[in-house]
Amino acid sequence: MIEALKPGGRLVLVEYRGEDPNVPIKPLHKMTVAQVRKEFAAHPVTFEESIESLPRQHVVVFRKPRDVDRKL
């Protein structure tokens, strides 16, 4: 996905809240924002924001820097 992004493009993830035991999803399928950020730290994207307006999910936004070559 990241390789296909244009420089400056956004990657948006919607993840079930790992820290909320009331979300009726197996723990295997839930993540905290910290876990998402840690996993994406190895990739050429920067964390932009976490939107917390959904009741059961985090919306986590990353952006590919404008100066990163499309061919990684």
Q: According to the model, what pLDDT value does residue 1 have? A: 87
Q: Is residue 69 part of a domain?
A: no
Neighbouring C-alpha atoms within 13 Å toward the C-beta of 3? 2
* Cα–Cα nearest to 20, from 11, 33, 7: 33
Place of tokens 């919607």: 14
- Domain extent for 28: 10-63
pLDDT of 14-40, one tens digit each? 999 999 999 999 999 999 999 999 999
Q: Is residue 37 situated within a structural domain?
A: yes
Instruction: Specify the pTM.
Output: 0.87
In single-letter form, the type of residue at position 57 comes to Q
- Which residue from 26, 8, 6 is spatially nearest to 16, judged by alpha carbons? 26
pLDDT surpasses 90 at 72: no
> Number of folded domains in the chain?
1
Domain contains 27:
yes
Please report whether residue 49 resides in a domain: yes
21 located within any domain: yes
